[in-house]
Amino acid sequence: MPVTPLEPRRPWKGKRIVLGVTGGIAAYKAIQVARDLTRLGGEVDVVLTKSAEKFVASLTFEGVTGRPVLTDLFSAKGAALHVRLGRDADVVAVAPATADFLARAAQGRADDLICTTLLATSAPVVICPAMNDKMYAHPQVQDNLDHLQNRLGYQIAGPVTGALAVSEGVGRGRLIEPWQIEEAVGRGLAVDDAFMGKSVLVTAGPTQEPIDPVRYIGNHSSGRMGYAIAQAAWRRGAKVTLVSGPSALDKPFGVDTVAVETAQDMHVAVAERIGDSDLNIFSAAVADFRPTDSRDVKLKRNESADRILVDLTENPDVARDTRANRKKGSVNVGFALETEHLVNNALAKLESKDFDLVVANDANEEGAGFSVRTNRVTFVEKDAQSERLPLMSKDQVAEEILDRARSLIIESQ
Ligand code: CTP
């Protein structure tokens, strides 16, 4: 799920999005998608097929997008509507995409407005299939998907295994969730050669250091900043691995998420993966110390006197202690949370942990830091240059970080 409430922002803001809806029961989810994409700042033109109109009404889509819904290839809205739609679109998405639609699109048919628009566009195309699991597994459907993906270069998002229509049970064929469709559309809009095919590793969240089987030492990190970065890097076309401490957030869509609990686990997970990674972003709030002897059984109140002492041992520094494993030429970005001497302390971390960029926050500043959805950061780089950014949502900060990382990736090539 996006980290911030829906607001106009990159990469959707100001973009022309054609949303094709075909006739399956999951068409009701497309209403949410059309609404959210509009709130994200997109100009959404919904195209319904004849069979989609049996499941959902064009009036509903007009209500959520504020724009006329298009249904007819030969409408009075002007000749060659498909050519205009295809030419003006920044992305064309079809959700849900039925087996019949996949067959027609794979054949290059031009018998309705959405299929014809696909032939007339050079914009990226995103297809989100949804159907019964037996239909999805059919070799003909798989051949059609293979053709759309590998011959035509369309992005296929989903389906997933889950509950199908009533009485159809559970199987692979379920449409991905609306927020995931919106991310897939975002990827269609944001894909960037500098990130395409690159491996990105992100650490996020807190770590939990056990005192006994039920208690731990932790911190207030929500994981929001790192999750927003991982999702934004995926949208740009990267292959993203997120090594995350415990977090209540949904796993970012399309990202390989590795769940860890302690700093030691995070150290191992990062050390194993960092050698293949082109860009590493260390946003986790790793506990610097852990209880020296974590107990196997719960510490009982009546066993202890009126005070107990927990002895602490230093944890590995995940960013610093994996320096030797880093891929040559990789770009490394760290964070610094400070209460004083922001830029100087950030510069010291830049050097000691061998970062190319440090994203520094002032812990005393309102709207910045752990549990909030916004952040105010200062970028500090090797040449001692620093740039203070205004207060913005963590999703927007993620884009700014990736813009800086993009320049560093290009410089390092
Ligand atoms: N970091 C890490 N492993 C740790 C501690 C920190 O990977 N055990 C990373 C963080 O993810 C961040 C950077 O190092 O990118 C700075 O973290 P911070 O906690 O601010 O710095 P510390 O080195 O712990 O320094 P200090 O406590 O003196 O501020």
pLDDT higher for 324 or 2? 324
Arithmetic mean of pLDDT, 60-76:
88
Q: Per the domain annotation, does 9 fall within a domain? A: no
Q: Please tell me whether residue 71 adopts helix, strand or coil conformation.
A: coil
| Reported pTM | 0.95
**pLDDT(2) > 70:** no
Q: Which residues line ligand 1 (CB under 6 A)?
A: 203, 263, 282, 284, 286, 288, 315, 317-319, 334-337, 349, 353
Residue 293: what residue type? D
Question: Do 154 and 223 belong to one domain?
Answer: no
**pLDDT(192) > 90:** yes
Cα 173 to ligand 1 centre (Å)? 43
Q: Which atom of ligand 1 is nearest to the CA of 355?
A: 15
Q: How many Å apart are CA 229 and CA 396, to the nearest integer?
A: 9
Cα 357 to ligand 1 centre (Å)? 14
Q: How many Å apart are CA 81 and CA 83, to the nearest integer?
A: 5
Q: Per the domain annotation, does 5 fall within a domain? A: no
Residue-range definition of the domain harbouring residue 27: 16-190
Residue finishing a domain among 162, 190, 218: 190
Catalytic residue list: 219
Question: Do 150 and 260 belong to one domain?
Answer: no
- Tokens, residue 42: 């997109």
Q: What are phi and psi of 119, to 5 degrees?
A: -70, -25
pLDDT at position 261:
98
Q: Per the domain annotation, does 334 fall within a domain? A: yes
pLDDT at position 78:
60
- Tokens, residue 233: 């890097």
Question: Do 111 and 248 belong to one domain?
Answer: no
Q: Per the domain annotation, does 152 fall within a domain? A: yes
Question: Do 182 and 76 belong to one domain?
Answer: yes
Q: Which atom of ligand 1 is nearest to the CA of 334?
A: 15
Structurally, how many domains does the chain consist of?
2
Q: Per the domain annotation, does 376 fall within a domain? A: yes
Q: Per the domain annotation, does 186 fall within a domain? A: yes
Q: Please tell me whether residue 282 adopts helix, strand or coil conformation.
A: strand
Question: Do 216 and 357 belong to one domain?
Answer: yes
Radius of gyration of the chain (CA): 24
pLDDT higher for 36 or 298? 36
pLDDT higher for 372 or 332? 332
Cα 259 to ligand 1 centre (Å)? 19
Question: Do 169 and 208 belong to one domain?
Answer: no
Q: Which atom of ligand 1 is nearest to the CA of 315?
A: 8
Cα 317 to ligand 1 centre (Å)? 7
pLDDT at position 166:
73
pLDDT tens profile 310-358: 999 999 999 999 999 999 999 999 999 999 999 999 999 999 999 999 9
Cα 318 to ligand 1 centre (Å)? 8
Question: Do 20 and 72 belong to one domain?
Answer: yes
Question: Do 35 and 82 belong to one domain?
Answer: yes
Cα 2 to ligand 1 centre (Å)? 26
Q: Ligand 1: which of 274, 347, 353 to mutate, judged by most atoms within 8 Å of the beta carbon?
A: 353
Q: Ligand 1: which of 242, 335, 343, 347 to mutate, judged by most atoms within 8 Å of the beta carbon?
A: 335
Give me the CATH number covering residue 277: 3.40.50.10300
Nearest residue to 216 via CA among 228, 224, 208: 208
CA-closest residue to ligand 1 atom 27: 288
Asked if residue 379 lies in contact with residue 311, where contact means CB atoms within 8 angstroms, the answer is no
Residue finishing a domain among 168, 190, 212: 190
Question: Do 218 and 174 belong to one domain?
Answer: no
**pLDDT(374) > 70:** yes
pLDDT tens profile 389-404: 999 999 999 999 999 9
Per the prediction, the chain carries an average pLDDT of: 94
Range from 179-183, 267-271, 369-373 carrying the lowest mean pLDDT: 369-373
Question: Do 250 and 178 belong to one domain?
Answer: no
Give me the CATH number covering residue 39: 3.40.50.1950
Arithmetic mean of pLDDT, 156-160:
97
Q: Per the domain annotation, does 11 fall within a domain? A: no
Q: Per the domain annotation, does 131 fall within a domain? A: yes
Residue finishing a domain among 139, 170, 190: 190
Percentage of residues in the chain with pLDDT exceeding 70?
96
Q: Ligand 1: which of 219, 225, 265, 286 to mutate, judged by most atoms within 8 Å of the beta carbon?
A: 286
Length reported for the chain: 413
pLDDT band at residue 197 under the 50/70/90 scheme = very high
pLDDT band at residue 269 under the 50/70/90 scheme = very high
Question: Do 26 and 58 belong to one domain?
Answer: yes
Arithmetic mean of pLDDT, 127-134:
96
Question: Do 185 and 208 belong to one domain?
Answer: no
**pLDDT(302) > 80:** no
pLDDT at position 3:
59
pLDDT band at residue 165 under the 50/70/90 scheme = confident
